[in-house]
Structure 1
Amino acid sequence: MAIRPQQVRPVPEPLVAALESLQRELDIPADFPAPVHDAAAAAAASPRLPSLDRTDLGLVTIDPEGSRDLDQAVFVEAAGDGFTVWYAIADVAAFVTPGDPVDLESHRRGQTLYAPHHRTPLHPPELSEDAASLLPDRVRPAVLWRLGLDARGELRGTSVVRALVRSRAQLSYREVQDALDAGTAETPLRLLRTVGLLRERIERERGGVSLRIPEQEVVVEQEQWWVVHRSALPVEGWNAQISLLTGIAAAHLMLDAGVGLLRTLPPATDAAIRKLRVTAEALRIPWPQGVSYPEFVRGLDPATGTHAAMLHACTLLFRGAGYEAFQGRPPENREHSALATPYAHVTAPLRRLVDRYGSEVCLAVSAGQAVPEWSLQALARLPAEMESSGRRASAYERGIVNMVETLMLSAHVGQEFTATVVEVREDGSRGTIIIRDPAVEASLKVPGLELGSEIRVRLLNAYVAAGRSEFELVPGGAG
């Protein structure tokens, strides 16, 4: 699911009490304490600025429309028969001092939380949406990555330094995609597409895989909230490849130096793959023995009902992601199995606590210096902090989506819908269904459902406050 960044918006009346209850249950803070705001304002007025000036680079930011917490700016240029990718990351450490009120509060929060009506930021808006954000035409301190690629897109050189940068423009994904499709995009954006495509090919070659499942997204227009299924634009994938490239480069710096914090995902067990093969067989989707899991997944079409069910089943392999901190001997589990490579989070420090520490490790390693003691001291506790904040973020977003789903459905009690069965419990007692219009996922307590089948269901109740809907199978409606 996805909840897009929004400015402050009114909450629909039927959701006010339910949303307040969810926020209390998950202990979502309404604001920052006054001392944190004061410390952020003081830091914004006197950041620690680097001496290196790279405001000459033609960097731009590419984000969802309406974003203010801009972590990354990118500039891609040709270099001989290859490419140079410049990637500027907001330098939060230029403003935050270990142990100060902003730092302590960020450890309590862990990450930014998004809701349709407002965001609950990791850092006070004085920093996250102003002084530290890579807003256009503002000189900002940044962690600047220089990534050298050959003609095939393979990484051949990495360096990272602190520098002053200036973003030339704040672009949205739709703007960039439209310009690329129309042939009017400037050269750096065309090269972004070229490098993105090359990196996607490399990901396929090394056995990485991304699930192309349309996300549920809460959108707001004219004070109305509803959920839609949204497929990512191609440029979102190409832009994500730059972030992944940087995270891969960061992981290798850490592993070479014997210190760091990796984002990991255990490899799928043989039993899990066998279970997926059984699911494919049940859905009558061919999966020849010689075809690997990544190859199989890339051939699935999320617009097809049985394929959507298969992709939903594949999400089981993406569970168990976490962080591995190490000093000295690298951890045994050092890879992110979905990416098929070691990987680290370093590209979103305004929105995710761990990235500030990953950047500090890489800056020190690249400069041949010792990692700052304040960063080393935090490494061991960061995995637990991020796991806790991740659980809260998932529960918050899922709770909001459930509420909006039931709000959308509340006017349709008694009506029938066509749904696809995307999951069936092992005991066969119930399943999960997806309705495409409106974009709803729901549990259906009906035994004997057939995975991947299209069925007709009737909405019995929509409990908005609880974020729960009740459906029944229409007699004769099983596919």
Structure 2
Amino acid sequence: MPQRHLSLTRDPRVASERASLEARLSELRGELDLPEGFSPEALAEAESAAVEPPGLDLREIPFTTLDPAGSRDLDQAFHLERAGSGFAVRYAIADVPGFVRPGGAVDAEARRRGQTIYLPDGSIPLHPRTLSEGRASLLAGEDRPALVWTIELDAAGAQTSARVERALVRSREQRDYAGAQAEIDAGRHDEQLELLRVVGELRIGQERARGGASLPMPEEEVVVDPDDGYRIERRSPLPVEEWNAQLSLLTGMAAAGIMLSGGVGILRTMPAPDEASLARFRAEVAEIGSPWAAGVRYGDYLRGVDPAAPRGMEILEAATSLFRGAGYTPFDGAIPELTTQAALAAPYAHVTAPLRRLVDRWGLAICLALCEGDEVPDWVRSSLADLPALMRAAGQRASRAEGAAIDLVEEACAASASRAA
């Protein structure tokens, strides 16, 4: 789709405007009371954290990471292969539970932060960078302890088994989305990218069959270019990003199944839209001129919406009313009444981004214990009930910060463009 592209250049005439914007971005951190650095105790603990060596060595498996260009906090690495008529998905996740001592200084700071916040002038990490961008990150060419998921799929992409275990891994290559997509488009991609496409499309088909309903909203982000300064882009995800996301969703659904079978866990839940919300949406899109036909599931209707088409964004913005009430649901013993994430039409848990999101550390520790037949650690059980409030506060803080930063950049870029005209 067309990009909204605003620039604040390095031209000397606007150098002061750029400096003013950067000063305002810095002030924003103080206004929103965002964390500044880590305590000496947390930094020292992160530097010296000792991880128990895994008993399983999977360094012969050529894992690959796929992330935005320039990323250093690499949570996931994948390896895909055909297995009979189906597929074997290996998904290595950074072993944050192994690095972070429960009750320690890093743990306390991570609970206060909740998640990494990404701003135009730099990120505010969940963990000290020596961990999140160093010792725990699945950087290419480095031996790393990881929690490796092995998930088997049948020929249609449906899960047939899943387990997680600690292992030593070594990623072979760090890829970025744009580069991977370019390889695919040019027909120069290797077997891993081809299998990512095949498995990703099969999993999208599985989501459609379940009645899942994704909302293909374009992302608005601030890009910092060394030559052109700041610009704001609105773009839709590349196909390779959607396929890669399906690996994470698959793992999260596998984790939810393990938790529900084990009777302990924390799910990412969202209720299905009620009839009144659906009726309002149906009336809105009819008024827009793109009626939702009777008998068509709302997920199927949304999949047919092109954000770049006239009034396409208007339809998607109206659809946001159908995706409300998402939260975290902990349980220990009795299974909760709501176990599904309505957009996925399946139970789901966050376990694939522990470097950047607090709750994933709990989910991973639970699934590892259940798969190994061990007791779920006391620190996990005693703090499960705290997580929904911690994550809600973190999400609100990140949303305010990222939205305010985009507003500041947009205002500065628009003012610069107006004066240049």
Query: TM-score normalized by structure 2?
Result: 0.93
Aligned to 1:381: 386
Q: Give the partner amino acid of 1:359.
A: L
Is residue 2:293 matched to residue 1:288? yes
The separation in 1 between residues aligned to 2:296 and 2:169, in whole angstroms, is 46
SS state of the match for residue 142, structure 1?
A: strand
Partner of residue 348 from structure 1, selected from 344, 353, 356: 353
Aligned to 1:437: none
Q: Give matches, 1:215-294, under 5 Å.
A: 215-222=219-226, 224-294=229-299
Aligned to 1:440: none
Q: Give the partner amino acid of 1:265.
A: M
Q: Give matches, 1:36-435, under 5 Å.
A: 36-43=42-49, 46-222=50-226, 224-413=229-418
The separation in 1 between residues aligned to 2:397 and 2:322, in whole angstroms, is 21
Q: Give the partner amino acid of 2:363.
A: G
State the Cα distance separating 1:112 from its structure 2 match: 0.4
Query: TM-score normalized by structure 1?
Result: 0.82
Maintained 8 Å contact 1:72/1:134: yes
Maintained 8 Å contact 2:22/2:121: no
Aligned to 2:18: 12
The separation in 2 between residues aligned to 1:395 and 1:316, in whole angstroms, is 20
Deviations 1:424-458, CA, capped at 9 Å, x for gaps: xxxxxxxxxxxxxxxxxxxxxxxxxxxxxxxxxxx
Report the structure number with the largest CA radius of gyration.
1
The separation in 2 between residues aligned to 1:64 and 1:337, in whole angstroms, is 27
Taking only aligned residues, the RMSD between alpha carbons, in angstroms, comes to 1.6
SS state of the match for residue 347, structure 2?
A: coil
Distance 1:204 1:415, change over 3 A: farther
Q: Give the partner amino acid of 2:42.
A: V
The separation in 1 between residues aligned to 2:246 and 2:138, in whole angstroms, is 20
Distance 1:94 1:220, change over 3 A: same
Q: Give the partner amino acid of 2:247.
A: I
Aligned to 2:30: 24
State the Cα distance separating 1:414 from its structure 2 match: 9.5
Maintained 8 Å contact 1:76/1:189: no
Distance 1:343 1:407, change over 3 A: same
SS state of the match for residue 145, structure 2?
A: strand
Deviations 1:131-174, CA, capped at 9 Å, x for gaps: 00000011100000000001000000111100100000111011
Maintained 8 Å contact 1:208/1:294: yes
Q: Give the partner amino acid of 1:134.
A: L
Q: Give the percent of matched residue pairs that are identical in Structure 1 and Structure 2.
A: 49
The separation in 1 between residues aligned to 2:18 and 2:212, in whole angstroms, is 41
| Unmatched 5+ stretches in structure 1 | 1-9, 417-479
The separation in 1 between residues aligned to 2:168 and 2:38, in whole angstroms, is 28
Higher relative contact order (CA 8 A, sep 6+): 2
Q: Give the partner amino acid of 1:24.
A: G
Maintained 8 Å contact 1:74/1:88: yes
Shifted more, 406-415 versus 159-168: the winner is 406-415
Q: Give the partner amino acid of 1:28.
A: L
Aligned to 1:428: none
SS state of the match for residue 280, structure 2?
A: helix
SS state of the match for residue 245, structure 1?
A: helix
State the Cα distance separating 1:121 from its structure 2 match: 0.4
Q: Give the partner amino acid of 2:364.
A: S
The separation in 1 between residues aligned to 2:66 and 2:170, in whole angstroms, is 14
State the Cα distance separating 1:184 from its structure 2 match: 2.0
Deviations 1:64-123, CA, capped at 9 Å, x for gaps: 000000000000001011000000000012211101111111001000010122111000
The separation in 2 between residues aligned to 1:19 and 1:222, in whole angstroms, is 17
State the Cα distance separating 1:412 from its structure 2 match: 4.7
> Normalized per residue, which structure has more helix?
2
Deviations 1:291-347, CA, capped at 9 Å, x for gaps: 121111111111123221010111122222110000011111111011111100000
